[in-house]
Amino acid sequence: MFLPKTKLARSEALSGYLYIMPWILGFLLFTAIPIIASIYLAFTSYRGYGDINWIGFANFTKMFTGDDIFWQSAKVTLIYVIGFLPPGLVLGYSIALLMNRDVPGITFFRTIYYLPAILTGVAVAMMWQFVFHREFGILNSILGWFGIVRISWLNDTRWVMVAFIIMGLWGVGSGMIIYLAGLQSIPSDLYEAATIDGANPWQKLWKITIPLTTPVIFFNLVTGMIATFQIFTTAFIMTEGGPNYATYFFSVNIYHTTFRSLRLGYASAMALVLFLLILGLTSIVLYTSSRWVYYSGGVEVDA
Amino acid sequence: MFKMSRNLILILLGAVMLLVVTACVPAASPAGDAGAGGEQVTIRFVSNHGDVEVPIFEEVIGKFEAEFPNVKVDYLNATSQFEDTIKTQGVGGSLPDVWYARTFLTSDYATKGWTLNLASLIDRDDVDVDDFWAAQIAQMSYEGDLYALPYDFSNVGIYYNKDIFDEMGVDYPTSDWTMEEMAEIAEQFVEKDADGNITRWGLNIFPWSWPWLGILQANGGAIFNEDQTECVINSAENLATLEFFKEMRNKGIYPESGATPEGLEPFSNGLVAMTFEGSWGTQGTRDRVGDKFDFDVVAMPKGSTGRRGITPAGGAWSIASTSEHPEEAWEFIKFLTSTDSTNTLISDHMRSIPGRKSSVPRWTEVALSGELPPANVGVFGEMMEEAYEIVYPQFWGDYDIAWSNLMVPAIVGGDGVLGPAEALEQMEKQCNEAIANSQ
Amino acid sequence: MTAQIDRSSPGNRSATPPIWERSRQRQKVLGTIVTYIVLFLGAIILMIPLFWMVSTSVKPQDQIYTFPIVWIPREIVWENYPQVFKSVDFARFLANSALISTFGIIGNVIGSSLAAYGFARFRFPGRTPLFVVMLSTMMVPEWVTMIPKFIIFKELGWLNTYLPLLVPHFFAQPFYTFLLRQFFLGIPKEIDEAARIDGASTLRVFWQIYLPLSNAALITVAIFAFFYHWNELLMPLIYLQSQELFPVALGVTSFISEQNQNFALMMAAALIAMAPLLIVFFLAQRLFIQGVVMTGVKG
């Protein structure tokens, strides 16, 4: 534990606390209590009415040994994370590199690429159902040019996950603008100096661009992980978790358990498990980050 | 801009916070007005309807407020995630005074103690309960007492395209028909193109959970046991029904999932000769079909038991047990469900079958005026007399999710999905899980 | 860490570029062409689904349900758009959304940047654990905290106001705080120290150095915050009980509900709800491009 010894260090520590006070206050007022309530509920059998009965680890025992749907949720969520996150990160970064070029009309392109990220809701879901339709969907038409047989994307337990990954990648523009902000912050003198030294574009990418954007890569990786594990809306609107629970992600499961059955105790228990899972994986990323994330400010951080 | 002093910043921050607080003074009057007969009282009323119904509700509310000048109705139409909102408000203890409670949820709300038991009020004010449909009374009751007053009631019939029938020289179906006859008739309309793709099917079905309660029972299969403490859906009769439908699907009698164009309504576009359609679909079908072809409606066919597979479900109004103005709320729902209001809300617009039998003549009158098809629209009311008296259990929400995940793919097909036998097995398992969880 | 570029004598640039310069120019042109091709291809792929939405929104009723599907309708029917405005109090909803979103941006930018500054620039006991705690609050699905939060706000008497939607955002949201913290960590310590030595307070340093240098990040936060508040559906639904307080996202759902069969109207309403976001994003691009060019630190 870092303890400030000198007067200067103590004053610095005090300032630090002062500046994060907005977060601390907000956390205590609005976040801590609901989260603590939820953790408490995980050990009860509360059903939204009546008494709150403490049942210890019973929810967890049931979850791990007697609930097939729980394991199904875990499986499909993990598959989605592994299938979507790496391509998503790479694609987002690549597009951001493209968007960073100072060609005329780039503003227009940036808007187009960012557009999917702001479209939400039932209208978009309808649009996707149109794209993925087995007989008349655009995707199958295009695949048909390559002689690939028609796939019933949203009704096939094996392909529906691919459809979800495609839908996720369509919205990769939101990660893009964060990368863009990072790219824009790199001083252009660096590139000029490198050119003078005879560097080619590939070297510039690997020696300047990527290292200097590791802070935002790190950000997108962590927030991406956190968000991807909680994927919900698309499955909720389009497939209700099916067919045959093939898209019954963790969040969908928790939602149904919370609002259809109002089994708040059990839902809280599942949320706790999900939370610990995400926390565990994120901690690993955080822990290794000091080795590959470079902050040009020269400040040491542990994460 | 960057030379501002610290004090100025603090003042700015404070001003912004102040703005936030003042800008957000509640715009609506709180529902907690002191009110004991005679004083001004406001009740919160929430519906879950489409935007076309809103003006009609406002009309009825206007009439109510004229008759009860001391009561003001604060009306809100919540269109999306309505059930979640009600449940959150339920747990949080701030339910509206009156809200739209589908009969699927009667026992769910009642077991949680959120809805007011209306039995004593009904006796006191001599509400004509016989005017309600027997099946709907069963659905709006919990442990023998009514917890809601009815809005509308719905069931499913079968529309058929008379032009296609004429073209193929097939006789129109009569209400005596059985499910096998339905399949035989429908098969005659199946058409394929040169590549073997089906371009016309015989029938369009609903794979939803609630109509299928009736369909399964009509063939002798049960879903729950007597007191709904156990799920028995995995039976030979139900398997036979599912296999029967699967065979129909394989012959192209009804479309597989993904076979019909998205965003296209099959019946009005001549893609199917017959379709399941609800009692609420009269106006919509007329709009979509226009004058493309002539059509009519016939009752659901009989199953192996000789009974038709008619499952009713409906909408109703409940009062919050935590309401601070139960008297006024009670007057309001009585008004909402009176014959006059029912005529205004439902019969005049052919929403679905009115929740009152005394409103049916007006409904039929409106339906038949203008002499638009379907001529036999009165069949929906007739079917209601034969409907199964189904009560939706407290765990219906969980049942519904399991149904759409397991049974719908078994009915409409899909690649890599469970077939009827495995689906039934899984369904029974999940259903029993749901029952266990609800204890 | 930057090299000094000697621009002292303009005569350094010769009239005829050396060979390696020429091939570099060719590379540049090639690069631009390739860029455009890729951009266009990607844009087309992204836009196909969107085009369907627009196309559907202007179809007359009987062409939506035709077979085979019509891409460009024979007659363009614009009436869906005015109808969206007529059917609900759209102007009011837009105003409400604007109000909520504006305060949302202000709150988020202020609160999150202050907290980010604290996490980035100061060393204090428990900094990393607190940071992890902050991140971990993002890992809890919102359903689970929704009901307890509702009860809290109900006890505070904030039901049917905008307060539950706005006040928490003045207190530093983890997502934005994390983002800004990453940017603040990229600002050279030396500038900070130089200013402090000159006698500036930490707040002054924040205001005059950190904020201006993180322009791109702050705009990103503003954009995200704007979109979040504009599209927010569930929170307003639960907390707002009077129709006149509704933001656009809620007002529009009466068209977009699953009960609705009028696809054209649905698409039109969705596109109208989305239009302000597009305009804002496009305009914000101007600020984005200005970006930051640091001249670097000598030595």
Mean pLDDT is highest, among A204-208, B3-7, C267-271, for A204-208
Strand partners, B100: B317
Lowest pLDDT segment from A151-160, A234-243, C82-91: C82-91
Span B372-397, average pLDDT: 89
Q: Do C46 and A172 form a contact (C-beta atoms < 8 A)? A: no
Of C124, C137, C291, the CB nearest to A16: C124
% of residues, chain A, pLDDT over 90: 43
Contact (CB<8Å) C256/A122: yes
* The three-state (H, E, C) secondary structure of chain C, written as one string: CCCCCCCCCHHHCCCCCCHHHHHHHHHHHHHHHHHHHHHHHHHHHHHHHHHHHHHHHCCCHHHHCCCCCCCCCCCCCCCHHHHHHHHCCHHHHHHHHHHHHHHHHHHHHHHHHHHHHHHHHCCCCCHHHHHHHHHHHHHCCHHHHHHHHHHHHHHHCCCCCCHHHHHHHHHCCHHHHHHHHHHHCCCCHHHHHHHHHCCCCHHHHHHHHHHHHCHHHHHHHHHHHHHHHHHCCHHHHHHCCCHHHCCHHHHHHHHHCCCCCCHHHHHHHHHHHHHHHHHHHHHHHHHHHHCCCCCCCCC
Question: Does residue A39 belong to any structural domain of this protein?
Answer: no
Q: What is the dihedral of CA B92, B94, B99, B102, to 10 degrees?
A: 10
Q: Is A52 near chain B, with CB under 8 Å?
A: no
Chain A residue numbers touching C266 (CB-CB < 8 A) = 122-123, 126
How many Å apart are CA B43 and CA C5, to the nearest integer? 75
User: DSSP class of residue B410?
Assistant: H
Domain that holds residue A223: 70-292
Question: Does residue C28 belong to any structural domain of this protein?
Answer: yes
Query: CA nearest A19 in C: which residue?
Result: C118
Q: Is B76 near chain A, with CB under 8 Å?
A: no
- Select B156-311+395-438's CATH number: 3.40.50.1110, 1.10.150.110, 2.60.410.10, 3.40.190.10: 3.40.190.10
* B428: closest CA of chain A, how far (Å): 14
3-state helix, strand, coil in chain B (%, to 5): 45, 15, 40
C248 and C283 together in one domain: yes
Chains contacting C (3+ CB pairs below 8 angstroms): A, B
Best of A73, A118, A218, A250 to disrupt the C interface by mutation (most C CBs within 10 Å)?
Answer: A118
- Tell me the CATH number at A102: 1.10.3720.10
Chain A residue numbers touching B409 (CB-CB < 8 A) = 155, 242-244
C98 and C215 together in one domain: yes
Question: In which band, very low, low, confident or very high, does the pLDDT at C62 lie, cut at 50, 70 and 90?
Answer: low
Q: Do B242 and B212 form a contact (C-beta atoms < 8 A)? A: no
Cis amide leading into C18 (omega within 30): no
C140 and C45 together in one domain: no
Is B204's pLDDT higher than 90?
yes
pLDDT tens for each residue of A249-300? 999 999 999 988 889 999 999 999 999 999 999 999 988 988 898 887 776 6
Of B91, B259, B414, the CB nearest to A243: B414
Is C183's pLDDT higher than 70?
yes
How many Å apart are CA B410 and CA B238, to the nearest integer? 12
Contact (CB<8Å) B401/A256: yes
Contact (CB<8Å) C163/B89: no
Residue B74: strand, helix, or coil: strand
Total structural domains in chain C? 2
Is A226's pLDDT higher than 60?
yes
Q: Is C271 near chain B, with CB under 8 Å?
A: no
Q: Is A243 near chain B, with CB under 8 Å?
A: yes
C46 and C122 together in one domain: no
Query: CA nearest C259 in B: which residue?
Result: B50
Six-digit token string for C237: 């639904």
Contact (CB<8Å) A181/C216: yes
Cis amide leading into C68 (omega within 30): yes
- Of C59, C77, C95, the last residue of a domain is C77
Fill in the amino acid letter for B108.
Answer: D
Q: Do B220 and B271 form a contact (C-beta atoms < 8 A)? A: no
Burial B260-271 (b: 16+ CB within 10 A, else e): bbbbbbbbbbbb
Mean pLDDT is highest, among A124-133, B139-148, C65-74, for B139-148
The beta-carbon contacts of C57-60 under 8 Å, at least 24 apart in sequence, are C57/C81, C57/C264, C57/C265, C57/C267, C57/C268, C57/C271, C58/C264, C58/C268, C59/C264, C60/C264
Q: Do B128 and B100 form a contact (C-beta atoms < 8 A)? A: no
What is the predicted ipTM? 0.86
Q: Is A110 near chain C, with CB under 8 Å?
A: yes
C94 and C114 together in one domain: yes
If you compute the radius of gyration of chain B from its CA atoms, what whole number of angstroms results? 25
What totals of helices (H) and strands (E) does chain A contain, helices first? Answer: 16, 0
Q: Is B259 near chain A, with CB under 8 Å?
A: yes
- Select B6-153+313-384's CATH number: 2.60.40.10, 3.20.20.100, 3.40.190.10, 3.40.50.150: 3.40.190.10
Give first-to-last CA distance, chain B, whole Å: 64
Residue B190: strand, helix, or coil: coil
Q: Do A129 and A164 form a contact (C-beta atoms < 8 A)? A: no
How many Å apart are CA B337 and CA B122, to the nearest integer? 13
- Tell me the HSE value of A214 on the side-chain side, using a 13 A CA sphere: 19
Strand partners, B295: B161
How many Å apart are CA C292 and CA A185, to the nearest integer? 6
Is B51's pLDDT higher than 80?
no
Lowest pLDDT segment from B348-362, C98-112, C261-275: C261-275
How many Å apart are CA B43 and CA B41, to the nearest integer? 7
Residue B193: strand, helix, or coil: coil
Chain C residue numbers touching A23 (CB-CB < 8 A) = 111, 115, 118, 134, 171-172, 174, 177
Question: Does residue A60 belong to any structural domain of this protein?
Answer: no
Contact (CB<8Å) C216/A123: no
Strand partners, B319: B98
C188 and C261 together in one domain: yes
Treating both helix axes as pointing N-terminal to C-terminal, what angle do A7-19 and C90-121 enclose, rounded to 10 degrees?
Answer: 170
* B257: closest CA of chain A, how far (Å): 7
C42 and C68 together in one domain: yes
B243 against C281, higher pLDDT = B243
Question: Does residue A166 belong to any structural domain of this protein?
Answer: yes
pLDDT tens for each residue of C132-151? 999 999 988 887 888 889 98
Contact (CB<8Å) A137/B262: yes
Q: What is the pLDDT of residue B207?
A: 94
Pairing of strands B198-204, B272-278: parallel
How many Å apart are CA B172 and CA B238, to the nearest integer? 28
Q: What is the pLDDT of residue C27?
A: 75
Is B357's pLDDT higher than 50?
yes
Contact (CB<8Å) B27/C242: yes
With a CB cutoff of 8 Å and minimum separation 6, the contacts of B373 are B286, B289, B294, B295, B296
Question: In which band, very low, low, confident or very high, does the pLDDT at A229 lie, cut at 50, 70 and 90?
Answer: very high
How many Å apart are CA B302 and CA B383, to the nearest integer? 12
Question: Does residue A4 belong to any structural domain of this protein?
Answer: no
Burial class (CB in 10 A: 0-12, 13-18, 19+), C291: middle
Is B261's pLDDT higher than 90?
no
C153 and C48 together in one domain: no
Chain B residue numbers touching A261 (CB-CB < 8 A) = 395, 397-398, 434, 437-438
| Number of Cβ atoms within 10 Å of the Cβ of C117 | 26
Chain A residue numbers touching C147 (CB-CB < 8 A) = 48, 258, 264
Question: Does residue C12 belong to any structural domain of this protein?
Answer: no
How many Å apart are CA C270 and CA C57, to the nearest integer? 9
If you compute the radius of gyration of chain A from its CA atoms, what whole number of angstroms results? 24
C166 and C136 together in one domain: yes
How many Å apart are CA B406 and CA B419, to the nearest integer? 9
Closest CA to B44 of B67, B59, B20, B61: B61
- Tell me the HSE value of C235 on the side-chain side, using a 13 A CA sphere: 20
Question: In which band, very low, low, confident or very high, does the pLDDT at A76 lie, cut at 50, 70 and 90?
Answer: very high
Chains contacting B (3+ CB pairs below 8 angstroms): A, C
Is B30's pLDDT higher than 70?
no
* The three-state (H, E, C) secondary structure of C115-140, written as one string: HHHHHHHCCCCCHHHHHHHHHHHHHC
B6-153+313-384 and B156-311+395-438: same fold? yes
If you compute the radius of gyration of chain C from its CA atoms, what whole number of angstroms results? 26
Domain that holds residue C181: 81-295
Span A151-173, average pLDDT: 89
C33 against A229, higher pLDDT = A229
How many Å apart are CA B89 and CA B114, to the nearest integer? 10
Query: Phi first, then psi: what are they for B203, rounded to 5°?
Result: -150, 150
Q: What is the pLDDT of residue B67?
A: 94
Total structural domains in chain A? 1
How many Å apart are CA C87 and CA C97, to the nearest integer? 18
Write down the domain spans for chain B. Answer: 6-153+313-384, 156-311+395-438
Lowest pLDDT segment from B371-375, C36-40, C88-92: C88-92
Q: How far is CA B12 from CA A21, A115, B18, C23, C103, in A?
A: 18, 34, 10, 56, 13
Q: What is the pLDDT of residue B291?
A: 86
Q: Do A194 and A188 form a contact (C-beta atoms < 8 A)? A: no
Contact (CB<8Å) A2/C124: yes
Cis amide leading into C49 (omega within 30): no
pLDDT tens for each residue of C99-133? 999 999 999 999 999 999 999 988 899 999 999 99
Span A89-110, average pLDDT: 86
Question: Does residue C55 belong to any structural domain of this protein?
Answer: yes
Q: Is A217 near chain C, with CB under 8 Å?
A: no
Query: CA nearest B3 in C: which residue?
Result: C208
